[in-house]
Amino acid sequence: MRILIIEDDQEASAYLAKGLKEAGHTVDQAHNGNDGLFLATTERYDAMIVDRMLPGVDGLTIVQTIRGAGNTTPVLILSALGKVDDRVKGLKAGGDDYLVKPYAFAELLARIEALGRRTSASQPETRLKVEDLEMDLLARTVTRSGRDIDLQPREFRLLEYLLRHAGQVVTRTMLLENVWEYHFDPQTNLIDVHISRLRQKVDKDFDQPLIHTVRGAGYTLRAAR
Amino acid sequence: MPPANLHLPPLLRATTFRLALSYLGIFTVSAVALLALVSWSTSVFIEWQVQETVEAEATGLSEQYRERGIRGLAEVIAGRAGQDLDRRAVYLLSGPGGVRIAGNLYGWPAESIDSAGWIRFSIERMGSEAFGTEVLGRTYVLPDDHQLLVGRSLHEAKRVKLAINRALGWGLALTILLGIIGGYFTSRHLLQRVEAMNRTARRIIGGDMKSRMHLTGARDEFDQLAAGFNEMMDEIERLVESIRTVTDNVAHDLRTPLNRLRSRIDVALLSDEDPASLRRTLEETLAEADEILATFNAILTISSAESGQRLHSFEPLDPARLAEDIAELYEPLAEEKGVALTCHTQGGATVDGDRHLLFQALANMVDNAVKYTPAGGTVAVSVTRQDGDVTITVADSGPGIAADQRARVLERFVRLDATRSTPGNGLGLSLVNAVARLHGATLDMDDNAPGLILSLHFTARA
C-alpha cells in the first residue's frame, strides 16, 4: 500500500515509516499540517496516518478538508488524547480509526492494513470463505469441510470479524472494539481465552489450523502455508 | 512599619478615598439641612412669641380704653413708654389726622399695614438716641378717628436668632470636622484589614500554604470574607495534598517497574547473549513497558472520571445489558480457572452513564472477583431494581476483605499484603470508586461469608 504519514515528531515519523516499509508498504512523510494537506490533496494514497496535533493545519482539519473534497482515502488518526469524546470527535471529523499514543507498532500496522483493505472490499457479502471454512451471513451458519460448526452468537461475530480480515493481523484491542464494542483495558488476557474456545470448535478436529497467533500482535485467520 | 495604605494598589486607595469623601458629602448636606430647619423653626417661634406679646399688651390697653376712655389710654401709654427702659415696646396713639397723642413713636411709619393689621417697620432713631431696630407691631382703629399702634422691637429676637445660628454654625463645623476625623480613622481601619488580607494572600502566593486570614471575632463582613477565604484555602490545600500524594505514589509505583526495565536492558547490553535470548529479553522488556503504560492509563482514566469532564458523554444505558456483556466476556476466563460465573439480571432498568467507563468499572470488579476466587468457587453478577434504584452486584466466594481494610482498598495504589503476589497495579477498585462517584452511585462492600460482595448502587433520578 502507499501510505502517507503526517506527524510532526520526526523521530516517531521515521520509526513508523521504517516499520511500514519493512512490512512492504511505500511511505511518504510530512512533518507539518500544510505539507501534509498538500500531499494529501495532490497525491493518491491507499491510507493515511494523521497526527491530531500538528503545527500549521491541525490533523482534524486536514481530515475534514480532504473529506469535504470528496477524498475517501482511509485515515487513521493518531493522538495523545485518549478520552472517549476525543475519539468520537476524531471519527466524526471523518477519521476511519483512532489510535492513542503510545501505541504498539503491531497494533498500528494491523489497523492500517485493515483500513487499506476496507476500501477494496466494500461490497456487501453474504458468504465468507477461507479454505474449507465457510460462513453464511444470512442463515448465520458455519461449516468446515461440510461439517456444521455450532457457535454462540459472540463466537459467530468473532469468527466473522476474523474472516472479514482473513490474512490480516487483528489485535486484541481491535477485537474488543469491533466484536464487543467497548473501549476499555482488560487487565487479563480475556481475548486469548475466547480465541482458544473458538479454536476448539473451528480447528480442533481438523488437520490444518486456520486461526494463528501472531506473537506480540494478535491473531490472524489464514490458510496454513 | 510604614503606613499600611502605601502598599495598596492606587485603585483601592482611590475607592476607599472616594467612599469616605462621598459619605462625608452626604453627611454634610444632611447636617446643613437639619440645622437650616432648626434655624428656620426657631425664627418662626420667636416671631410668634413677639406677636403673642403684642396681642397680650393690646388686650390690656383695650381694657384701659374701655374703662377710662381715650384720655386714660393715653396716660397708660405714656406711663408704659416711660417705664420701658429696655426700649423694647413701641406705642403710638394718634387722634384725627394722624396727630400723635401719646407713645414713644413720633409718627406713623410709611410701611403698609396688612389685612390683619400687622405692620413691620424699622426705626432709625427714638428720641435723640440712635435706635436702629426692626419693629413688629399691630394697629387698631379706635372710635372718633383714633388709631393705636402697639409694637415690639425685634432686636432681642434678632440677637437670639443670631446666637442660635452661630451655635448651629459651630455645631456644623464641629460635625464636619468629626466626620472627617472619623472617616479618616474608619477608612484607615478598613484599609488596615484589607491590607492584612492582602499580606496573607501574598504570603500564600509566596508559598506559605498554611497561612490563613486572621479573624477578629467581630463576625462582620470582613470576618465572613476571611472565613470564606480560609475555607477555600483549606480545600485547595486538601486538593494539593491529594495531588501530591498521587504524584508521590505514581512516582513510587512507576519507579519500581521502570527500574526493573532499565536493569533488564542494562544486563542485556552487557552480556554476549545470542540473538534468540536477546529477542526474548526485548519481548519481556516490551511486556514490562506495556504494564507501565497500563498503569498510566488507569491513572488517567481515574482522573478523567474524577474531573467529571465525561459527564457530557452520558447516555441512557441498560445495566442488565452491561452485566450480561461483562459476564459473557469473563465467562471463558472463569471457566478456565474452574470458577462458576453466573449472571442474573432484572431488565427494564435504565442508568445514565458513560458506557465505556461503566464497562471498565464492571470489568475491574469481575476481574478482581475471578482473580481472587479459588477453583471450585463462584462469582455471581446480578442486576436488581427497586423503585427505580438499580444495584449491580458482583459477589465472589474468595477470601474477601476484612471490614477494617475495605476503605483502604479504595485508595490508589493500595494493595493488601495478601494480594502482593498476584498481578495488578492497585488501581482497580480506586477506578471503580471514581466511576461510581462520577455516576452519583455508591460503591458498597459486604461480607459474602466467605467472599466479597461489591455493589454499585444507583439512586433513581429525581
ipTM for this prediction: 0.80
Chain A CB contacts of B357 below 8 Å: 84
**Long-range residue pairs from B45-48, CB within 8 A, at least 24 positions apart, any chain:** B46/B157, B46/B160, B46/B161, B47/B136, B47/B154, B47/B157
Query: Could you tell me the pLDDT band of residue B362, with boundaries at 50, 70 and 90?
Result: very high
Picking from B125, B129, B423, B118, the residue whose alpha carbon sits closest to that of residue B294 is B423
Chain A CB contacts of B313 below 8 Å: 84-85, 88
- The answer on pLDDT for B408 being more than 50 is yes
Contact check, Cβ <8 Å, A154/B328: yes
Task: Compute the distance between CA of residue B177 and CA of residue B182 in angstroms, rounded to an integer.
Answer: 8
Query: Could you tell me the pLDDT band of residue B3, with boundaries at 50, 70 and 90?
Result: very low
pTM of the model: 0.62
Most A-contacting residue of B324, B356, B430 (CB-CB within 10 A), to test interface: B356
Chain B CB contacts of A87 below 8 Å: none
Query: Could you tell me the pLDDT band of residue B214, with boundaries at 50, 70 and 90?
Result: confident
Q: How many CB atoms lie under 10 A from the CB of residue B102?
A: 22
Sheet holding A47-51, edge to edge: A26-30, A2-6, A47-51, A75-79, A97-100
- Select the residue of B293, B359, B367 nearest A102 (Cβ to Cβ): B293
Parallel, antiparallel, or unpaired for β B378-386 and B389-396? antiparallel
Contact check, Cβ <8 Å, B312/A104: no
Q: What is the pLDDT of residue A221?
A: 92
Q: What is the pLDDT of residue B238?
A: 78
Q: Which residue has the higher pLDDT, A215 or B396?
A: B396
With beta carbons less than 8 A apart as the criterion, state whether A221 and A214 touch: no
Picking from B229, B88, B100, the residue whose alpha carbon sits closest to that of residue B160 is B88
- The answer on pLDDT for B256 being more than 80 is no
Q: What is the pLDDT of residue A162?
A: 93
Q: What is the pLDDT of residue B460?
A: 74
Residues of B with CB under 8 A from a CB of A: 283, 286, 290, 293-294, 297-298, 300-301, 304, 309-310, 312-313, 325, 328-330, 332-333, 336, 354-357, 359-360, 363-364, 367, 370-371, 423-424, 428
Strand pairing partners for B15? none
Mean pLDDT of B135-140: 86
> CB of A184 within 8 Å of any CB in chain B?
yes
Q: What is the mean pLDDT of chain B?
A: 82
Q: Express as a percent the part of chain A with pLDDT over 90.
A: 41
Contact check, Cβ <8 Å, A182/B313: no
Q: What is the mean pLDDT of chain A?
A: 87
**Rounded to a whole number, what is the distance in angstroms from the first to the last CA of chain A?**
23
- The answer on pLDDT for A68 being more than 60 is yes
Q: Name, of A62-66, A125-129, B169-173, B242-246, the range with top average pLDDT.
A: A62-66
Picking from B337, B459, B334, the residue whose alpha carbon sits closest to that of residue B394 is B334
Three-state SS at A150: coil
Parallel, antiparallel, or unpaired for β A2-6 and A26-30? parallel
- B208's torsion region: left (phi>0), alpha (psi -120 to 50) or beta? beta
Task: Compute the distance between CA of residue B58 and CA of residue B91 in angstroms, rounded to an integer.
Answer: 10
Q: What is the pLDDT of residue B305?
A: 77
Task: Compute the distance between CA of residue B196 and CA of residue B17 in angstroms, rounded to an integer.
Answer: 18
> CB of A154 within 8 Å of any CB in chain B?
yes
Q: What is the length of chain B?
A: 462
Shortest CA gap A184–chain B (Å)? 6
Q: What is the pLDDT of residue B370?
A: 92
Q: Which residues of B173-207 are buried (b: 16+ CB within 10 A; e: fewer)?
A: eebeeebeeebeeebbeebebbbbbbebeeebeee
Mean pLDDT of A148-152: 91
- Select the residue of B309, B360, B370 nearest A184 (Cβ to Cβ): B360
* Range from A22-31, A71-80, A189-198, B7-16 carrying the lowest mean pLDDT: B7-16
Query: Could you tell me the pLDDT band of residue B461, with boundaries at 50, 70 and 90?
Result: low
Locate B280 and state its grid cell.
526474548
Q: What is the pLDDT of residue B4?
A: 47
Q: Which residue has the higher pLDDT, A221 or B283?
A: A221
Mean pLDDT of B111-125: 80
- The answer on pLDDT for B231 being more than 80 is yes
Task: Compute the distance between CA of residue A165 and CA of residue A128 in angstroms, rounded to an integer.
Answer: 10
pLDDT in tens, B303-361: 777 776 667 778 899 999 999 999 999 999 999 999 999 999 988 888 888 888 899 99
Picking from A144, A147, A123, the residue whose alpha carbon sits closest to that of residue A134 is A144
Chain B CB contacts of A158 below 8 Å: none
